[in-house]
Amino acid sequence: MGNVRIKLIISYTILVIGALSMILPFIWMLLTSFMSNSQIFSYPPEIVPEPFLWQNYPEIANKIPLFRYFLNSMIVSIATVIGQVATCSMAAYAFARLNFKHKNILFFVFLGTMMIPPQVNIVPLFFLMRELHWIDTYWALIVPGIFGGFGIFLLRQWFLSFPKELEDAARIDGCNPFMTFWHIALPLAMPAIVTLGIFSFITSWNSFMWPLIVTNSDVMKTLPVGLAAFKGSFRETTEWAQLMAASVISVIPVIIVFILGQKYFIKGIMLGALKE
Amino acid sequence: MIMPALLGTAIFILIPVAGSFFISLTRWNLISPPDFVGFENYSKLLSDPLFYHVLITTIIYALAVVIFSITIPLILAVALNQKIKGIVLFRTAYFLPVITPMIVAAIVWSWIFDPNNGILNFMLIKTGISTPPLWLFDKFWAIIAIIIVSVWKNIGYNMIIFLAGLQGIPDSLYEAADIDGATSINKLFHVTIPMLTPTIFFVCIMSTISSFQVFDLIYLMTDGGPENATMVIVYWLFKNAFEFFKLGYASSIAYVLFIIILVLTLVQWKLRKKWVMYE
């Protein structure tokens, strides 16, 4: 029994040290966001904000269009989720249940797209956006992010996993494939759809390179790109407290989404999602 | 019903992949029409000393990230895979960095790594290191700082995968080992790790591929510097395309990246047959 106990003690020690190194940067960020600039540069570094200041939050919101960035990120992330769920669920259902020409080859093509690093495509995609006059619009931020093989793969597995009889019954009652999909299959697939939705929300919210390339004006920037511009212009200097305040604001939505959908999120990881 | 997905995938993924190859055969600055130059960009690339520097930097980065984002999460998952109290709490803590936007990680860590005011160097001085590294401002330490942040961000994700793998190992194997009088260490090396090789293999592929695509952290923390010390392949591609407007050259870099990732995936698939154990 002593052996087991030692093992547990070692395990707890490892886990606690690990967890602290995960969380401390966030605590450090939160505390710094309430400090005055003079306190930030005091030596030795201080941990507790003294005086405790709220004003970094309104100040950063005045200095850069933080609310607009936030709104843009929301619009882009939500639209991407809707677009991805809509296109992927229809295609996945077709691959799982319907018969059509070249079905296997087409499915293989979709799977193959998962192996293409997105960076390979940025130059032609940028050119395409320019030709479509989509640069600096929501279209460029949203539409290319919708497509990819992962969602189809995930939902197809799910559709395959439940019995066909229910849908057969609907068909006998005179439903066409789309009605069967809409009224029977889609509601049954809700857990998988939520998983896909959470993943695509977080991926889209955190996405950086593409929004950086296709936005120019301040009013179209997403939160990460807007913050990066602010950080860049202060690379050498001092506005750390305000940067931390803005960081706190940008991390809150993903934390909320994660806490609400933790169990779906973990399920999604098992299926090999979230490529960064 | 597959039409919307098919059309979108064709327009935004498949045609661009082909387009990228075509652009790599041209000289093009976005303003004047592209000039067809054949494989000139590729031969230029192969004789560009910077290309080899970028490639080596990327490989060093990827190797380090893969090694640490397998070993550390593996240890944590083994520790977590017992009757541990607060498992949800631990899982949430380890997951926080995973879901955090890269920009936030970059801001916080740039501040932690700040040579003069950062908490890290303050602690290093406290522990008796009189001249701690300049981190992001030092040619040697910058890439190490980036590796630390990447590993920090990956740990939770890989830990969850390993945990699932561990939970899939049947208890009967451990019971059999107990009967044979195996110690905990014996069990770790002769039951747990062999049974986990498919999972380790999977994590290895995913981490290698994503490491070759690192961009955000470099852009946000070092700008590829100091003196190109952190110039990795995707960042170099980005610079060529959107700062120097050498779109043909950038596309040839993109294709080299594509081939590297393809080869890596295939090689690892081959290896898998050799050293992965199945039940």
Domain boundaries defined on chain B = 41-275
Fill in the amino acid letter for A152: I
| Chain A hits for B72, Cβ within 8 Å | 18
| Chain B hits for A15, Cβ within 8 Å | 76, 79-80, 84, 90
**Does the pLDDT value for residue A234 go beyond 60?**
no
| Chain B hits for A94, Cβ within 8 Å | 1-2
Inspect the interface and report whether the beta carbons of B103 and A146 lie closer than 8 Å.
Answer: no
For residue B161, give the chain A residue with the closest CA: A270
* Residue B106: pLDDT band with limits 50, 70, 90: very high
pLDDT given at position A236: 58
Query: Is A254 within 8 Å of chain B by CB?
Result: yes
Inspect the interface and report whether the beta carbons of A19 and B93 lie closer than 8 Å.
Answer: yes
* Residue A274: pLDDT band with limits 50, 70, 90: very low
pLDDT given at position B218: 93
**Does the pLDDT value for residue B269 go beyond 80?**
no
pLDDT given at position A77: 95
* % of residues, chain A, pLDDT over 70: 95
* Residue from A64, A102, A119, A258 to probe the interface with B (highest B Cβ count within 10 Å): A119
HEC readout, chain B: CCHHHHHHHHHHHHHHHHHHHHHHCEECCCCCCCEECCCHHHHHHHCCHHHHHHHHHHHHHHHHHHHHHHHHHHHHHHHHCCCCCCHHHHHHHHHHHHHCCHHHHHHHHHHHCCCCCCHHHHHHHHCCCCCCCCHHHCCCHHHHHHHHHHHHHHHHHHHHHHHHHHHCCCHHHHHHHHHCCCCHHHHHHHHHHHHHHHHHHHHHHHHHHHHHCCCHHHHHHCCCCCCCCCCCHHHHHHHHHHCCCCHHHHHHHHHHHHHHHHHHHHHHHHHHHHHCCCC
3-state secondary structure of A130: helix
* Residue from A147, A150, A249 to probe the interface with B (highest B Cβ count within 10 Å): A147
pLDDT given at position A260: 85
> Could you tell me if B141 and B134 are in contact, meaning their C-beta atoms sit under 8 angstroms apart?
yes
Mean pLDDT calculated for residue range B82-100: 87
* Residue A276: pLDDT band with limits 50, 70, 90: very low
Domain B41-275 has CATH 1.10.3720.10: yes
Mean pLDDT calculated for residue range B135-146: 92
Q: 10 Å Cβ neighbour count for B39?
A: 12
Inspect the interface and report whether the beta carbons of B117 and A43 lie closer than 8 Å.
Answer: yes
**Does the pLDDT value for residue A252 go beyond 60?**
yes
**Does the pLDDT value for residue B279 go beyond 60?**
no
Query: Is A258 within 8 Å of chain B by CB?
Result: yes
CA distance, residue B97 to nearest chain A CA (Å): 7
Six token digits for residue B199: 């999972």
* Residue A237: pLDDT band with limits 50, 70, 90: low
Average pLDDT, chain A: 86
CA distance, residue A235 to nearest chain B CA (Å): 9
CA distance, residue B204 to nearest chain A CA (Å): 12
* Residue A54: pLDDT band with limits 50, 70, 90: confident
Inspect the interface and report whether the beta carbons of B79 and A10 lie closer than 8 Å.
Answer: yes
For residue A17, give the chain B residue with the closest CA: B76
Highest mean pLDDT among A167-176, B35-44, B49-58, B158-167: B49-58
| Chain B hits for A115, Cβ within 8 Å | 261-262, 265
* Residue B276: pLDDT band with limits 50, 70, 90: low
* Residue A149: pLDDT band with limits 50, 70, 90: confident
Domain boundaries defined on chain A = 59-270
The CA-based angle B261-A77-A120, given to 5 degrees, is 20
* Residue A272: pLDDT band with limits 50, 70, 90: low
pLDDT given at position B272: 62
Query: Is A166 within 8 Å of chain B by CB?
Result: no
**Does the pLDDT value for residue A275 go beyond 50?**
no
Read off the pLDDT of residues B194-241 as tens digits, 9 standing for 90 and up.
888 888 888 888 889 889 999 999 999 988 878 899 999 999 999 999
User: What DSSP character marks residue A182?
Assistant: I
- Cα separations (Å) of B76 from A197, A223, A265, B68, B276? 28, 33, 20, 12, 22
For residue B236, give the chain A residue with the closest CA: A119
Q: Compute the distance between CA of residue A215 and CA of residue A222 in angstroms, rounded to an integer.
A: 9
* Residue A43: pLDDT band with limits 50, 70, 90: confident
The CA-based angle A265-A268-A270, given to 5 degrees, is 120
Q: Compute the distance between CA of residue A196 and CA of residue A273 in angstroms, rounded to an integer.
A: 9
**Does the pLDDT value for residue A166 go beyond 80?**
no
A21-25, B1-5, B39-43, range with the lowest pLDDT: B1-5
* Residue A235: pLDDT band with limits 50, 70, 90: low
| Chain A hits for B14, Cβ within 8 Å | 109, 113
CA distance, residue B46 to nearest chain A CA (Å): 18
CA distance, residue A276 to nearest chain B CA (Å): 6
* % of residues, chain B, pLDDT over 90: 37
**Does the pLDDT value for residue B278 go beyond 70?**
no
**Domain A59-270 fold:** MetI-like fold (1.10.3720)
Predicted complex ipTM exceeds 0.90: no
pLDDT given at position B175: 86
A181-185, A256-260, B82-86, B268-272, range with the lowest pLDDT: B268-272
Read off the pLDDT of residues B71-89 as tens digits, 9 standing for 90 and up.
999 999 999 888 888 888 8
A2-6, A78-82, B37-41, range with the lowest pLDDT: A2-6
User: What DSSP character marks residue A120?
Assistant: G
* Nearest in space to B212 (alpha carbons), one of B239, B236, B234, B238: B234
Read off the pLDDT of residues A91-145 as tens digits, 9 standing for 90 and up.
999 988 888 888 888 988 888 888 888 889 999 999 999 989 999 999 999 999 8
Mean pLDDT calculated for residue range A259-271: 77
Inspect the interface and report whether the beta carbons of B99 and A258 lie closer than 8 Å.
Answer: yes
| Chain A hits for B155, Cβ within 8 Å | 18, 22
* Residues ≥6 apart with Cβ < 8 Å to B70: B158, B200, B203, B204, B207
HEC readout, A61-92: HHHCCHHHHHHHHHHHHHHHHHHHHHHHHHHH
Inspect the interface and report whether the beta carbons of A106 and B76 lie closer than 8 Å.
Answer: no
